[in-house]
A and B are shown apart, each in its own frame.
Chain A
Amino acid sequence: MTKVADLKTFATKIRIETIKEIAGIGVGHIGGALSICDLLAVLYGGVMNIDPKNPCDENRDWLIVSKGHSGPALYATLALKGYFPMDTLKTLNKPDTILPSHCDRHAPGVDMTTGSLGQGASLAMGIALGNKLSGRNNYTYLLLGDGECNEGQVWEAAMFANNKKLDNVIAFVDDNKQQLDGFTKDISNMGDIAAKFSAFGWNSQSIDGHDVEAILNAIKSAKENEGVPSVIVLNTIKAKGYKKWEGSPGNHNFNITMEDALQFEKDILANE
Chain B
Amino acid sequence: MIKLANNIDKEPIEMRKVYTATLIELAKENENIVALDADLMSAIAMGDFAKTYPDRFINCGIQEANMMGVAAGMSATGKVPFAHTFAPFATRRAYDQLFLSAGYAELNVKVVGSDPGITAQLNGGTHMPFEDVGLMRLIPNAVVVEPTDNTVLKFVLKEAAKTYGLFYIRLSRKNSTKVYEEGSSFTIGKANTIREGNDVTIIAYGIMVKEALLAANILKEQGIEVRVLDMFTIKPIDKDAVIKAAKETGAIVTTENHNIIGGLGEAVAAVLAENAPIPMERVGVNDVFGKVGTQDYLAKEFNLTADEIVQKVKKVLERK
Which residues does A use to contact B, with CB under 8 Å?
25, 27-28, 68, 93-95, 97, 100-102, 104, 113-118, 147-148, 150-152, 179-181, 187-188
Contacts and interface: CB of A to CB of B under 8 A. Distances in A.
Interface stretch (B40-48, B159-167, B189-197, B268-276): B40-48
25 contacts: A25-B122, A28-B122, A68-B126, A93-B122, A94-B293, A95-B301, A97-B292, A102-B124, A102-B125, A115-B123, A115-B125, A115-B127, A116-B88, A116-B126, A117-B62, A147-B62, A148-B62, A151-B63, A152-B63, A179-B39, A179-B61, A180-B40, A188-B39, A188-B61, A188-B62
B311 interface: no
A28 B123 CA distance: 9
Residue of B40, B61, B63, B297 with highest tally of chain A CB at under 10 A: B61
Contacts of A94: 293
Nearest to A28: B122
A27 B40 contact: no
Nearest to B297: A95
B65 interface: yes
Contacts, number: 77
Contacts of A101: 122-124, 292
A102 B42 CA distance: 20
A116 B60 CA distance: 16
B89 interface: yes
Interface in B281-298: 291-293, 297
Interface of B: 37, 39-43, 59-63, 65-66, 88-89, 93, 122-127, 291-293, 297, 301
A26 to B, nearest CB: 9
Contacts of B127: 102, 115
B39 A100 contact: no
B41 A181 contact: yes
Contact of B89 (A93, A95, A113, A116): A116
Given A101-B292, A116-B93, A181-B40, A150 B61 contact: yes
